[in-house]
């Protein structure tokens, strides 16, 4: 159990730190696309959200992508698409969910082994887990590979050396996640479907924002994996804020190991943790065993709530579901 929990912790950390990507690519193995950057680029570089360059089009044609279509991904690599990719491989669950959400499920040729949603993804050929099987990806002859610039750094570099088009993204906010979805929709010429997803996500954000705007902020502690919490500059920190909370871990940036004494000092009103599929939940077990934590208001008042693991760890369309879950836990009287 301990070994399994450690592996789960590493997986969750990588999944969360990589927040799913807005990735556009160019130059597939079949040469259908071309990459203006020569398929080079620093996969570890940081960049603002994916930027796209779309030729002017009439309102009547707005639902169709005008090719060639250029984008610059999170690694600073510019990609040019001459047409919609016909075969796409996803290296991260969040990317898989985006592809299916925008109606590009039939174009998905392969996925990572953690891609469990929607159910159809389970039947797709697998190309590795946290370590990508480069040979398996290449064998599928994809027009595009979508990946996380932070979680799939090595794979991105290796695939680009093979002249395989890779779109690497790393959204850090709710709105950047929406922008990623819209861009992938544009790449795949699934603009109408992508717009529907984006509208739903914006509507959910507005619903929650309106509901909690006059409510006092709740002091919240989130433990996303045993012994690990989330700090500022992350999509989960922002999610807590949108939902009407104040993250007790925001004094540090990124994802980091818990300071048990500091959490006791902060005394959160609410504790959130993901469903890890184990009973008892190892996060709850850890919380209940930590000295002094029985004096925390959230523990004393039984204000500890479980939220969906996949929804809260993937920067994709279901981030809207995560926002609703968190908001309902923080303000159950205001968010239904």
Q: What is the pLDDT of residues 14-61, one digit of tens each?
A: 444 443 233 223 222 233 333 333 332 332 333 345 666 554 443 333
| Whole-number percent of the chain with pLDDT over 70 | 82
Average pLDDT of the segment spanning 187-198 = 97
Which CATH architecture describes the domain 214-330?
3-Layer(aba) Sandwich (3.40)
Rg (CA), the chain: 20
Determine the pLDDT at residue 6: 41
Determine the pLDDT at residue 52: 62
Which runs of consecutive H residues, i.e. helices, occur in the chain? 2-18, 93-101, 134-139, 153-161, 174-187, 191-212, 235-242, 260-266, 282-289, 297-300, 309-313, 319-330
Q: 317, 235, 310, 229: which is closest to 275 by C-alpha? A: 310
**Statement: residue 5 has pLDDT above 80:** no
Sign of CA dihedral 133, 101, 85, 124: positive
Average pLDDT of the segment spanning 71-99 = 98
* Contact partners, residue 77, CB within 8 Å, separation at least 6: 35, 37, 39, 40, 41, 160, 166, 168
18-201, which class in CATH?
alpha beta
Average pLDDT value for the chain:
86
| Whole-number percent of the chain with pLDDT over 90 | 81
N- to C-terminal Cα separation, the chain: 36
Confidence label for 115 from pLDDT (cuts 50, 70 and 90): very high
Domain boundaries of the chain, sorted by first residue: 18-201, 214-330
Average pLDDT of the segment spanning 82-95 = 98
- Output the 3-class SS for 283-306: HHHHHHHCCCHHHCHHHHCCCEEE
| pLDDT: which is higher, 327 or 4 | 327
Average pLDDT of the segment spanning 85-108 = 98
Q: What is the pLDDT of residues 116-147, one digit of tens each?
A: 999 999 999 999 998 999 999 999 999 999 99
Determine the pLDDT at residue 63: 84
108 beta partners: 88
Query: Any idea how long the chain is?
Result: 336
Average pLDDT of the segment spanning 316-327 = 98
**Single pTM value for the model:** 0.83
Taking the C-alpha atoms of residue 272 and residue 249, their distance in angstroms, rounded to an integer, is 12
Average pLDDT of the segment spanning 170-196 = 97
């Amino acid at each position: 159990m301990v070994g399994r929990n450690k592996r789960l912790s590493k997986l969750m950390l990588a999944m969360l730190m990589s927040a799913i990507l807005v990735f556009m690519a160019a130059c597939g193995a079949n040469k259908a696309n071309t990459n203006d950057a020569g398929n080079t680029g620093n996969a570890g570089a940081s960049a603002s959200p994916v930027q796209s360059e779309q030729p002017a089009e009439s309102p009547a044609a707005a639902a169709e992508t005008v090719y060639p279509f250029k984008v610059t991904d999170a690694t600073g690599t510019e990609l040019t698409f001459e047409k919609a990719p016909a075969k796409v491989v996803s290296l991260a669950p969040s990317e898989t969910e985006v592809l299916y959400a925008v109606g590009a499920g039939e174009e998905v040729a392969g996925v990572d082994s953690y891609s469990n949603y929607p159910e159809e993804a389970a039947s797709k050929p697998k190309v590795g887990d946290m370590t990508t099987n480069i040979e398996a990806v290449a064998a599928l002859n994809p027009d595009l590979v979508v990946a996380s610039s932070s979680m799939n750094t090595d794979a991105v570099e290796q695939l680009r050396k093979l002249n395989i088009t890779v779109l690497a993204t790393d959204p850090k906010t709710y709105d950047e996640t929406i922008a990623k979805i819209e861009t992938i929709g544009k790449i795949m010429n699934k603009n109408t479907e992508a717009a529907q997803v984006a509208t739903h996500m914006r509507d959910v954000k507005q619903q929650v924002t309106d509901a909690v705007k006059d409510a006092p902020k709740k002091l919240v502690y989130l433990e996303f994996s045993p012994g690990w919490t989330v700090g500022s500059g992350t999509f989960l920190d922002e999610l807590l804020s949108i939902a009407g909370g104040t993250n007790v871990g925001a004094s540090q940036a990124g994802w980091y190991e818990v300071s048990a004494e500091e959490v006791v000092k902060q005394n959160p009103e609410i504790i959130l943790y993901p469903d890890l599929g184990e009973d008892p939940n190892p996060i709850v077990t850890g919380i209940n065993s930590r000295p002094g934590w029985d004096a925390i208001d959230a523990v004393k008042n039984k204000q500890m709530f479980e939220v969906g693991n996949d929804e809260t760890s993937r920067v994709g369309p279901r981030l809207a579901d995560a926002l609703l879950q968190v908001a309902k836990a923080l303000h159950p009287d205001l968010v239904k």
